[in-house]
Amino acid sequence: MFLRIDETVKFAVAQVSLNNDINSNIERMRHYIAEAASNKADILCFPECSLTGYRRDFHKIDWDEILKALDMLQGIAAENGLITIVGTPYFEADRLYNAALVISANNRLKYFKNNLTDFDKQYFSRGRNILTFEVNELKCGVIICRDQNYPLLTRKYARRGMKLLFLLSAHYYLPDEACFKLNKNRALPIARAVENNIFVGKANAVGSQGDYISLGHSMIVSPEGSIICEADNSTEGVLYHEVVRPLDKI
């Protein structure tokens, strides 16, 4: 549990390009963490597999390199006084998962993707649990990409009192399919927000990895289903929204 003493929570989602070089991804995250901290954000969420890139052979991942990178990100989060959510492969009990880690100065919480794509199934085991945590008494949850397709998963979070859902995505498709699926991937975060009376912050990748492209459109959605802010299909950047407590009327 992460607690702040003020009466608001300012959250942010980053739309960034990904590649397969971990050091390059860390430096990009370092830049946006510093930017979010300067804008007085409490928590910043990055896309799915933002540490390693998504379109790659995860059988060749160096676990020691991942651990060192996570230690480095924890230090960056601590330096900036910011909670960071990062997408990364993660080994646990001899299994590899597509994970989201909620990282603060002295803690790491883990969520493993529950609903895998065909690409994921080549490398990752399926997660079975959910993850909730608090930022200044605002209960938050985390899902990853295709998890957005399954309303009962988000409902499970809502029944535990979650008011803000972070959605880490990396919607990489071949170009024609990316255009075809764009409206669906914009609509589902809105649907999950309205169904559950919650805020949704979606952090999607942008740009290409090999032949595949992700068309961005990261967004923050209100409990009423209004898009508070939305990125375009090609530009990196950070979206912000500030929630004032109490949230008993949400």
Tokens 């914009």 sit on residue: 186
Range of the domain at 195: 8-244
Q: Which amino acid is at 199?
A: F
The pLDDT of 238-245, averaged and rounded, is 92
What tokens appear for 29 in the block?
A: 């995250």
Residues 71 and 244: their CA atoms lie apart, in Å, by 32
Q: Check residue 103 and give its pLDDT.
A: 98
Check pLDDT > 70 for residue 248: no
Residue 1, classified by CB atoms within 10 Å of its CB into exposed (0-12), middle (13-18) or buried (19+), is: exposed
Check pLDDT > 70 for residue 147: yes
- The closest of 234, 224, 143, 145 to 190, measured between CA atoms, is 224
Q: In what side-by-side order are the strands of the sheet with 83-92?
A: 108-112, 95-103, 83-92, 43-45, 8-15, 237-244
Interhelix angle 175-196/151-158, nearest 10 degrees: 30
The 10s digit of each residue's pLDDT in 176-233 is 999 999 999 999 999 999 999 999 999 999 999 999 999 999 999 999 999 999 999 9
The 10s digit of each residue's pLDDT in 88-140 is 999 999 999 999 999 999 999 999 999 999 999 999 999 999 999 999 899 99
- Taken as a whole, the chain contains a residue count of 250
**Is residue 202 a contact partner of residue 85, using CB atoms and an 8 Å limit?**
no
Q: Check residue 50 and give its pLDDT.
A: 98
Residue 149 lies in a domain: yes
Percent share of the chain, pLDDT over 90? 93
- Mean pLDDT score of the chain: 95
CATH of the domain at 29: 3.60.110.10
pTM for the model stands at: 0.95
Residues 196 and 192: their CA atoms lie apart, in Å, by 6
Residue 3 lies in a domain: no
Residue 249 lies in a domain: no
Residue 33 lies in a domain: yes
- The closest of 160, 55, 48 to 111, measured between CA atoms, is 48
Confidence of residue 7 (pLDDT cuts 50, 70, 90): confident
Residues 54 and 143: their CA atoms lie apart, in Å, by 16
Q: Check residue 246 and give its pLDDT.
A: 59
Confidence of residue 244 (pLDDT cuts 50, 70, 90): confident
Residue 250 lies in a domain: no
Give the chain's count of helices (H) and strands (E).
5, 14
Q: Check residue 249 and give its pLDDT.
A: 45
Residue 2 lies in a domain: no
* Structural domains counted in the chain: 1
Residue 113 lies in a domain: yes
Residue 1 lies in a domain: no
